Chains A and B, each alone.
Chain A
Amino acid sequence: MLESIRQIPIDYYVYLSTLLFVIGILGVLIRRNAIIVLMCVELMLNAVNLLLAAFSTYLGDAQGQIMVFFIMVVAAAEAAVGLGILVMIYRNTKSTDISLLDKLRN
């Protein structure tokens, strides 16, 4: 099992992660619903996780996977606080549209 991973060049994992990361960025740019924007950030974090896990396996070093755990911690904390703030915003504005939140401009 482990040796058969050599059939896949590490480049493939790098390109896949890049693609997923760029899709995340695209989502952040074209969506206005703040909840979907948060989800796209989660997708970007996952692209990085995948890359770290791939390097960890190809180098035979566990440190990459440990880093993934720390990223998961940050992602979970971010989701909890972010969604809390979003629900609060929804209570005040009755919308989760991020373009309504530029009141401090001018």
Chain B
Amino acid sequence: MSLILLFDTALILEKSILVIVLFLITLGVAAYSTYGERKVAAFIQDRLGPNRAGPFGLLQPLADGVKFFTKEDFMPNAAERWLYILAPGAFMFVACMTSAVIPWGTQLTIFPHPVDLQVADINIGILYVMGFTSLGVYGIMIGGWSSNNKYSLYGAIRASSQMISYELAMGLSIIAVVMLTGTLSLKEIAAQQTGFNWNIWYQPLGFLLFFVCSLAECNRAPFDMAECETELVGGYHTEYSSMKLGFYLFAEYINMFISCTIIATLYFGGYNFPGVDPGWLGGFMGPIVLFAKIFFFIFVFMWIRWTIPRFRYDQLMHLGWKSLIPLAILNMLLTGAGVLLFEN
């Protein structure tokens, strides 16, 4: 299917531009999430936050970038050289890949030829997202192992067991959405939720489970076991410095951005909003609505981080295996019964 299309030069050009724009937006959002995080933290702790670099400290991410690039690039003597270098890149790569299947809007109509706001409409979009989420763990594991440091290894093992455990509940809550909508394509799922017909009204429990699991998948507080400073120095990236460390931190913000996008698309109508046609402004209204939702969820993620204390490791595992997975199975059963009763 996709290979025949690849020979169409106009399409290649269109998709390449879309990919590059998407890439830049992802990086930009991730960079300003670091700024946002500090401002939110400052607001919650009654401080000012970054305010030296540029007006309101708006150039702070740039300054951070320069700082990361100019720091000494340190490598432990006993590290597995190639894997040590490869790991942050792999983590970043996997984080950037997921955005390919997300429908950012319907179509742009300001060009002579309507442009789909989705890089690849594959009919198994959700599974693609799940697949790449499950690959994210390799970057952490390889990084933690190849540093040849006990703290790093502990961080990596914690992170990976946490991610594997929470992926199960995540997959189960996605299955309930799939049963409800009858499709695995994210484009279809977004298109079905016109107006106020959002999936959250049918899947409140599923949304809650998915939200908790995505906090855990992103290694965000209160689930930031992998890098809890008080126990593990810095977690799996203890031995990393300079831009390699920057890649890890940056990729985590990209993961957060993508998680918020998936939450908005699966449960909160994607680019739909009651009374707003996503086709307005030549098709730019859809992305604007979607980004408004995404920023709201990014704010909620930060709000949680600076409000709720960290779980203990065994509490985390108990929550995942003994509460979330049974609840997700229950949610799946209820959804199945509901679909069976009301479908006909």
Contact = CB atoms under 8 A, between A and B. Distances in A.
A4 interface: yes
Nearest to A2: B1
A1 interface: yes
A73 B2 CA distance: 29
B137 to A, nearest CB: 16
Contacts of B3: 1, 4
Interface in B1-35: 1-4
B313 to A, nearest CB: 19
A88 B224 CA distance: 30
A1 B7 CA distance: 11
Interface string A1-42: 100100000000000000000000000000000000000000
Nearest to B1: A1
Interface string A52-90: 000000000000000000000000000000000000000
Contacts of A1: 1-4
A1 B1 CA distance: 5
Interface string B97-139: 0000000000000000000000000000000000000000000
A4 B2 CA distance: 12
Contacts of B4: 1
Nearest to B5: A1
Contacts of B1: 1
Nearest to A3: B4
A1 B8 CA distance: 13
A7 to B, nearest CB: 12
A1 B2 CA distance: 8
A4 B1 CA distance: 11
Interface in B125-182: none
B52 to A, nearest CB: 52
A38 to B, nearest CB: 18
A1 B6 CA distance: 10
Nearest to A4: B3
A65 to B, nearest CB: 14
A43 to B, nearest CB: 18
Contacts of A4: 3
B93 to A, nearest CB: 23
B188 to A, nearest CB: 22
Nearest to B2: A1
A39 to B, nearest CB: 16
Contacts of B2: 1
B145 to A, nearest CB: 15
A4 B3 CA distance: 10
Nearest to B6: A1
A1 B3 CA distance: 6
A97 to B, nearest CB: 21
B130 to A, nearest CB: 15
A79 to B, nearest CB: 13
A1 B4 CA distance: 6
Interface of A: 1, 4
5 contacts: A1-B1, A1-B2, A1-B3, A1-B4, A4-B3
Interface of B: 1-4
Q: 5 closest pairs, A vs B, by CB?
A: A1-B3, A1-B4, A1-B1, A1-B2, A4-B3
